[in-house]
Amino acid sequence: MSCRLVFCMLVVPIVSVCLCAQGVQPYPNAITDRQFYAKTPMAPPPANTVFQDPDLGASMVRVTDGNTNPKEPNDFFLNPDSDVNEWSMDDSKFYVVAGGNGANLAFAFNPATMTVSALPGAGAGGGLVIPLREGPTFSVVDPDLMYGTAQKAPLTISTYRFSTGKTVPLVDTTTCGTQPPLVAGPKESSSDTTVSSDDNRIVISAGANSAGHRPFVIVYDQKLGCRWYNTQTGQIGGQWGPTGQVSIPDRYNVNHVKISGNGQFVRIGVARVGFYIWDVTSLNIEPCPVEDVGLRCSGYGAVGYDAYINGPEVLDELNAFLRPLGDLGDMTQLINPLPQPYYKGMEKSWAWTNGVVNGNVPVCGSTYSPKGNEEVNQPYDGEVFCIETDGVASTIWRFAHNRAVWNPKFYWSQPYGSISLDGRFFSFSSSWDLQ
């Protein structure tokens, strides 16, 4: 596999980047040493022009510029949440989010040439508006299909097919029998649509009018029907599986949800608290609180087929831990032993494909300064990278400087990334050194 990672730039333009890796399989052309590579000053390239990172060698292509969203000239753009599938399973399409009006804009992509083009029906600027609410996700098995919730019916899980341009409802979650009942209205909404590796199970968070306030996690099985968990009452119900009270006393609101590739687990994120894992075949909820030093639950993470990876900033900034979703305490350190000197100072975001049955594919991500520094002073500062997860070795593949400058006033100014299902492309957002 060659590593071709596509990157999206935030705040000024959005950029796609293709990385042609060197060193160790599956990215045999990527740099894998621990040397320091200074960041060469570089002006933002024109949109849809393939260029090479001057320091770490990746090939990249910029996706957006000030003309991409004609309804919002000079708009900024951002990557969708790394939990969703931003890429179609054949790499022929991907989408970005317009910051001004929140539109989901899809583009055609040629993985051989890295050419970005307009899809049929796209308007001026080249982006096709996907008629689904925030956080839609591409199917894992059908490159023509997306899942999400309907714009005018935010509690209805729906599909969108590119070839027909039609949105089709799958299930109205107000009919799922939640307690108390979900009622469609201006104060009810949903987001975070993710799917299992066979597309059979779909999860959303629902209720209230924004993330961090929603009480429901709803799993829709296309064969069995609905299953739901009210995180404020602790009640679980639905059309399949055991019903009753959860096994823990914790009550909380939902920030984000993500279903595992095998469809058995849902990660439930809770702002500033940590996260919970729900085994949807049971009433079991396993907490992973940030204050539990032994569980090392802090930091951003990524859900895979049946495991979870996070980087809690233990000793070294790239020190990452893998754990089964069914046993959060069974941790494996991915970089072991940790070489010295230790490197610190960077925050990390992660992306990991959950569509692969063999969950040992590399996890990828990007680092950025939580203080908003533009400088890179040590290896891995401000870089795009992948880490080996199969336990055979501790390879770190290095691809490019992401040139993202974090501004704490704007959450999405961090270089969130998304990996394609085949691991060839990675999209990320960047302010390109504030140029």
Per run of 10 residues, the mean pLDDT along the chain (length 435 residues) is 39 32 77 95 89 90 86 82 89 90 91 92 91 94 96 93 97 96 80 92 90 92 98 98 96 95 96 94 97 93 95 93 96 95 93 78 92 93 94 94 86 83 89 85
Alpha-carbon distance of 164 to 162, in angstroms, equals 6
pLDDT at 22 (0 to 100): 52
Q: What is the SS3 assignment for 365?
A: strand
Alpha-carbon distance of 311 to 330, in angstroms, equals 15
C-alpha distances in angstroms, 340 versus 32, 83, 379? 16, 32, 12
Prediction pTM value: 0.93
Alpha-carbon distance of 103 to 130, in angstroms, equals 7
pLDDT at 9 (0 to 100): 39
pLDDT at 21 (0 to 100): 41
Tokens 């969203």 found at: 69
pLDDT at 296 (0 to 100): 95
The per-residue DSSP string of 146-159 comes to EEEEBSS-TTEEEE
Phi then psi for 85, rounded to 5 degrees?
-85, 105
pLDDT at 358 (0 to 100): 67
pLDDT at 69 (0 to 100): 82
Residues 6+ apart with CB under 8 A from 195: 85, 137, 139, 140, 147, 201, 202, 203, 259
